Amino acid sequence: MHQRETLKINGKGHLEIGGCDCVDLAKQFGTPLYVFDEKYIRKMARTYKQTIDLNYGGNGLVLYASKAFSCKAIYKIADSEGIGCDVVSGGELYTAFQAGFPAKKIYFHGNNKTVEELTEAVKSGVGGVIVDSYREADILDGIAKAKGVRQNVLIRINPGVEAHTHAYIQTARTDSKFGFSISDGTAYNITTHILTLKNLNLQGFHCHIGSQIFEKQSFVLAANKVMDFIADVKAKLNFEAATLNIGGGFGIHYTDDDPVLTEKDYAEYLTMLIDAIKAKAGEHKLSLPYLLIEPGRSIVGEAGITLYTVGAIKDIPGIKKYVAIDGGMFENPRYALYQSKYTVVKANDMNAECTQKVTIAGKCCESGDLIAVDVPLPEVESGDILAVLSTGAYNYSMASNYNRNFIPQAILVNDGKAETIIKKQTYEDLVRNDVIPERLG
């Protein structure tokens, strides 16, 4: 386990986060339990904001990517740090508004937004809508006309760069449900079309090349390609993009296979990107565009851990040892979906030596309900507290009530204080929307 300022081993040999003993948290709140470190969230938000302020003259805005983790408290934190957010559904938009988040600092994403979602976005005055299809552009134009406004929009384009984790490739592939490709001319065509729509105000372009990226050059290559496209559009259509949204995708540490990045590293990622944009703007004699970035995982991912209590242990000699926990794919489906890897620790005895490799199994009625496979652990027994690290992004977001299990409670820790930010569900919550037709008696 790599330690950071607020994730450490305390004097009792227990895992501590935000000044709180994880064993005490498990006793107080029960398990499974999502735990979020407020200081880490704020530190990462400030890192990105300060980098734009220092290296780009403040000519930009950090947008927290809501899909990583959405709840009222996270929007309050984002707003207090002076950053914006992006949303991808009416539900995320509603949650942000319930937290009092300013509409002008919200950008609305999605490849198939409903008419109702687009209407609410225009009605509420969001800062921008990222257009992803001709249909959406035309519907949005009609809604804006009916409301008597000009809606600010960006176009999502594909620069032909794909990046994931430690590698990136340059490609002309256009096979994506998102955006319009530069290489096949569709990005240019949709730009031409939107410029004819009187109720849409085209501000610029958006791109996002992947997620969990550590290869810095991939961001630079994407920025270069988009800036070249902006210059081409200016030359042919006499339209110069005022805004460039370069997306997110910065990687985080899940296991020892991943590098350990500090705020300095993330600042360097963004600075390289900024330098590339400045260089291309100079080359093409373009004004520096207003810069939007969309970090999500890198803000909340390592800020979160999940606590579990060990239940049954099944040792199949010579084959595998299963350690069952009181959670599972209902509150962390990421292994079941795409075999995500995690670091797992024995929170109630962090100094114990790892002597075995085990598979962490959930309690769902599915043989594929696993959290981690072949992870090193000390000897464990029923009642021990396990912590799975770096679960702040996408775990709660993807959680469900599968098998009618509860979505766990989430708490925020800071300076030894723990506060609930998402309440524990009850059985009444599970049946709240169930309806029995009268004919069934």
- As annotated, the active-site residues are 365
Residue 376's H or E segment, with its range, is strand 370-377
Q: Which amino acid is at 270?
A: L
Distances (CA, A) of 398 to 38, 139, 326, 427: 21, 29, 17, 20
Using CA atoms, how far apart are residues 144 and 152, in angstroms rounded to an integer?
A: 10
- Please name the residues in contact with 146: beta carbons below 8 A apart, sequence gap of 6 or more: none
Q: Which amino acid is at 254?
A: Y
Residue 387 CB burial class (10 angstroms; 0-12, 13-18, ≥19): buried
Map residue 234 onto helix, strand or coil: helix
Count CB neighbours of 368 within 10 A.
Answer: 12
Q: Which residues pair with 413 in a beta bridge?
A: 37, 418
> What b/e readout covers 255-264, taking b as 16+ CB neighbours within 10 angstroms?
eeebeebebe
Q: What is the DSSP letter of 438?
A: G
- Please name the residues in contact with 280: beta carbons below 8 A apart, sequence gap of 6 or more: 223, 224, 227, 228, 231, 286
Q: Which residue has the tokens 């579990």?
A: 308
Q: Which amino acid is at 386?
A: L
Can you give the length of the chain in residues?
441
> What b/e readout covers 286-315, taking b as 16+ CB neighbours within 10 angstroms?
bebbbbbbbbbbbbbbbbbbbbbbbeebee
Strand ranges (DSSP E) for 45-88? Answer: 60-65, 84-87
**DSSP, residue by residue, 269-286:** HHHHHHHHHHHHHHHHT-
